[in-house]
Amino acid sequence: MERGLDTNVRKTRHMIFKAVAELAYHSKNLKEDIEMLPYELCSMDSSEDWGNIYRERAVIRERLRLALGIKLRPENKPVAVSAGVEESNVAEKYYEPPLLQVIPSACNACPENMYIVSDQCMGCVAHPCVEVCPKGAISIQNGKSFIDQDKCVKCGKCHSVCPYDAISHKRRPCADACGLGAIVSDEYGRADIDRTTCVSCGQCMVHCPFGAIADKSQIFQLIKALMSGKKLIAELAPSFVGQFGNATEAQVKTALKQLGFYDVVETAIGADIGCVAEAKHYVEKVSTKEVPFLLTSCCPSWMYLAKLFFPETIDSISRELTPMVATAREILKEHPDADVVFIGPCASKKLEASRRTVRSDVDFVITYEELLGIFDAKGINPEEVTPEDGLQDASGAARGYGAAGGVASAIEKCIRAKYPDTEIHIEHAEGLAECRKMLTLAKSGLKQGCLIEGMACPGGCVAGAGTNLSIAEAKKRLSAFMETAETPLPKEI
């Protein structure tokens, strides 16, 4: 589904995030207010389809729970919408798997993979669809083609030869968006997520036209922390440009300070640290053939994919901290008493922040989409804010991490500047299906000597599940932001 379109699904998500933020700011009786919200957000007067109002409210109830950081309710027993909210009514709460969940009442049980004959069939004499079908699944009934689904093997030959494009290939959008086959069906034909395969990239969520997949949020707890007087410092991912209308970087930074943040820094300063170190690693280890190839470590879903399906490649994954974690540690060096908030485009960063293997030092992770809900709840429009100082922390190369190919490009630039005699081989893959193919080739020995960048989202971070802007426009804005950096390369180069 095209990113950046203001669809009803996006409007509903925004409405929920804003409502939860308002609860955090103003609620005096949290349980009662939560129980009332579905009626306020979906009233008899506002509903476009009165017959579906009860289903709409059922979906809103589950969305509210996820936005509060609480898991979905069971389908087989009565549980209050506000049940468990006491655990979330705090100023600190880590994400608990599963991060992404399918809301059963919202799922349309779309066909997983099916070819059907539409009303565009002309009943032609040639009927090439019948002739090419290898299983005899197509017959002519009442002058029109008909596909026997029990015989059909979904080869698509009929679809390709129909001169009227009358045979349609029906696919489940969420499953189509997942490159790992993690979307399966439950006993009722509704979408379900295979937790053994899912790497939490969130692409299924943004491609579901029914809004049936949602992720948990920390916005309620973040606001509680802001209201408590804690020192909170935000680290802002480079893909933020353009995500809040035409607000400049200085306006976004100022708007965040108006929310109560002590300071705002660029996550790209951690990228600067990482790309210098990875350039050195490539020169000393990969170009000398001590290790076969180097996998970048920025995208958590890409790393989860490698570890899950290609454990043989684990030793080739960069040991450098991700920009989010590296930046958090830089912040804590100067402000050891601060809580760190990562603001970015990514769903899987939420799980990275709460992993146990490598302490992230990140206390909250929210997306641009969630932050927009907080701004609206607080009555702050970043475009109208009088800007103070802007962001001048990172290099242009590090800011380029926000788009596919940017990580490898930054490392390559560092190598060319500091180690000009080194021969460099760069590869990058975007989207989980392509990432999986790339790792298969690497495992097979066909990517020897390569620096390999993987991004789970097609387009890179600018296409993350928590973005507000079209991917093409986001890339354009990011490119302009790179040009405004004080230095093109890290200062250490």
In the prediction, which pLDDT does 91 show?
64
Kindly state whether residues 252 and 283 are assigned to the same domain: yes
The rounded distance, in Å, linking the Cα atoms of 294 and 477 is 29
In the prediction, which pLDDT does 89 show?
66
CATH number of the CATH domain containing 379: 3.40.50
Kindly state whether residues 146 and 258 are assigned to the same domain: no
Q: Does a structural domain hold residue 162? A: yes
Kindly state whether residues 385 and 467 are assigned to the same domain: yes
Among 305, 321, 322, smallest CA distance to 313 is for: 305
Kindly state whether residues 147 and 197 are assigned to the same domain: no
- 3-class secondary structure per residue, 264-316: EEECHHHHHHHHHHHHHHHHHHHCCCCCCEEECCCCHHHHHHHHHHCHHHHHH
Kindly state whether residues 71 and 182 are assigned to the same domain: yes
User: Which string of DSSP letters, residue by residue, matches 413-434?
Assistant: HHHHHH-TT---EEEEEESHHH
In the prediction, which pLDDT does 389 show?
87
Pairing of strands 100-102, 213-215: antiparallel
In the prediction, which pLDDT does 87 show?
77
Q: Does a structural domain hold residue 144? A: yes
Kindly state whether residues 51 and 192 are assigned to the same domain: yes
Kindly state whether residues 353 and 428 are assigned to the same domain: yes
Q: Are 369 and 13 in contact (CB under 8 A)?
A: yes
Q: Does a structural domain hold residue 2? A: no
Kindly state whether residues 144 and 73 are assigned to the same domain: no
Q: Does a structural domain hold residue 492? A: no
Q: Does a structural domain hold residue 1? A: no
CATH number of the CATH domain containing 42: 3.30.70.20
Kindly state whether residues 58 and 122 are assigned to the same domain: no
In the prediction, which pLDDT does 50 show?
59
In the prediction, which pLDDT does 46 show?
61
Residue 28 region by backbone torsions, left for phi larger than 0, else alpha for psi between -120 and 50, else beta: alpha
In the prediction, which pLDDT does 90 show?
66
Q: Are 449 and 289 in contact (CB under 8 A)?
A: yes
CA distances from 328 to 39, 233, 264, 324, 331 (A): 41, 9, 11, 6, 5
Cis peptide before 458 (omega within 30 of 0): no
Query: Which domain range does residue 133 map to?
Result: 113-171
Query: Which of 156, 171, 186 is the endpoint of a domain?
Result: 171
In the prediction, which pLDDT does 360 show?
81
Which residues of the chain are under the pLDDT cut of 70?
Answer: 1-2, 44, 46-51, 89-94, 356-358
Kindly state whether residues 101 and 131 are assigned to the same domain: no
> CB within 8 A of 306, min separation 6: which ones?
295, 313, 314, 317, 439, 454
What residues pair up with 450 in beta bridges, in sequence order? 293, 425
> CB within 8 A of 6, min separation 6: which ones?
none
Which tokens belong to 21? 């933020």
Say how many domains are in the chain.
Answer: 3
Side chain identity, residue 445: G
Residue 490 region by backbone torsions, left for phi larger than 0, else alpha for psi between -120 and 50, else beta: beta
Query: Which of 159, 192, 220 is the endpoint of a domain?
Result: 220
In the prediction, which pLDDT does 387 show?
94
Instruction: Give per-residue burial for 203-234: e unless 16+ CB within 10 Å, then b.
Output: bbbbbbebbbbbbbbbbbbbbbbbeeebebbb
